[in-house]
Structure 1
Amino acid sequence: MIDVHYVTFDCARPYELATFWSRATGWEIHPETEVDDDEVLVSGAPNLLFIRVPEGKSVKNRVHLDVNGSGGTTRDQEVERLAGLGATVHEDRRRPDGSGWVVMLDPEGNEFCVCRADYEKQP
């Protein structure tokens, strides 16, 4: 059995991308972080680690995060909030019956999906 310690993102601008994900999740950036650090940690469950790499993103992510609202926010409210933070809608896979998800891109083009929270689903 293992514990997931970090989910790591290769990126060009670690501090900027960590700031987006910190605002998206409400989790804190490690307090000793400097703006020009090559590694930036966002403490959460799991921790998110952003590491500067020289090459850019060139293909679809093989691993991505699925997220949903909390505290009563809906999938659609979260899509709007995340877009306001700098994410973009990549594919809208919502269905007329309310099921489905929205594929979004973070500011460096990493895919993630916004799904409905369990409290949004009809019995």
Structure 2
Amino acid sequence: MVSIGQVVLGVTEMPRAVRFWTQALHYIPRAGAVTDTWTILDPVNGLGVPVALGLSSSPVQQVPRIHLDLFAETTQEQREEVERLVALGAELVQWDLYPDNADFVVLADPEGNRFCVIDLSHE
């Protein structure tokens, strides 16, 4: 049997990506190790899936087939988290694929990787 061990994001500038994702997720580099080509980030509290950052020259997908969903418990928390993430360097994505009454907001990290902030209270 297998399980998800970590999620890997391709990045072009490791220090910038480490700075953003450690602050965005409240994660820390595993054993304090940050290299130019590979860094694993672990949750500070030990709960959650690690995120690995790997140096990549591949272009960012405008409509990625795989992406991260970050959960917010309420609409207010979602709004606050989106504002916090934008202040850290994320950008709001002009997403023409939003369904009516969407429960998610699409953002891009400083590398251009798309991710969503989901409002879990949305009905």
Give TM-score scaled by structure 1 length: 0.78
Give the Cα–Cα distance (whole angstroms) in 2 for the partners of residues 86 and 54 of structure 1: 21
Residues 27-55 of structure 1: CA distance to partner in whole angstroms, max 9, x if unpaired? 11223324x52101111321111111234
| Contact 2:108–2:114 under 8 Å retained in 1 | yes
Q: Which amino acid aligns with 2:28?
A: E
* 1:2 and 2:2 aligned: yes
Q: Does structure 2 retain, via aligned residues, the 8 Å contact 1:94–1:102?
A: no
Partner of 1:91 in structure 2? 94
Aligned length: 117
Q: Rate the CA distance shift 1:71–1:15 in 2: closer, same or farther, 3 A.
A: farther
Identity, % of aligned positions: 24
Q: Secondary structure at the match of 2:94?
A: strand
Q: Give per-residue Cα distances to partners, 1:55-107, cap 9 Å, x unaligned.
A: 432543210011123699611111111100100110364866xx521111110
- After TM superposition, the structure 1 stretch with the greater mean CA deviation from structure 2, 71-80 or 59-68, is 71-80
Q: 1:91 is paired with a residue of what secondary structure?
A: coil
The one-letter code matched in structure 2 to 1:26 is H
Give distance in 2, aligned partners of 1:49 and 1:103: 21
Looking at structure 1, the residues matched to 33 and 59 of structure 2 have their Cα atoms a distance apart, in angstroms, of 23
Aligned partners of 1:29 and 1:83: how far apart in 2? Answer: 22
Counterparts of 1:17-56 in structure 2, within 5 Å, are 17-34=17-34, 36-44=35-43, 45-56=48-59
Give me the whole-angstrom Cα distance separating, in 2, the residues matched to 1:106 and 1:53: 15
CA RMSD of aligned residues (A): 2.6
The DSSP-based 3-state class of the residue aligned with 2:93 is strand
Aligned in 2, Cα 1:58/1:114: closer, same or farther, shift over 3 Å?
closer
TM-score by length of 2: 0.78
Residue pairs, 1:69-80, within 5 angstroms: 69=72, 74-80=77-83
SS in 1 for 2:7: strand
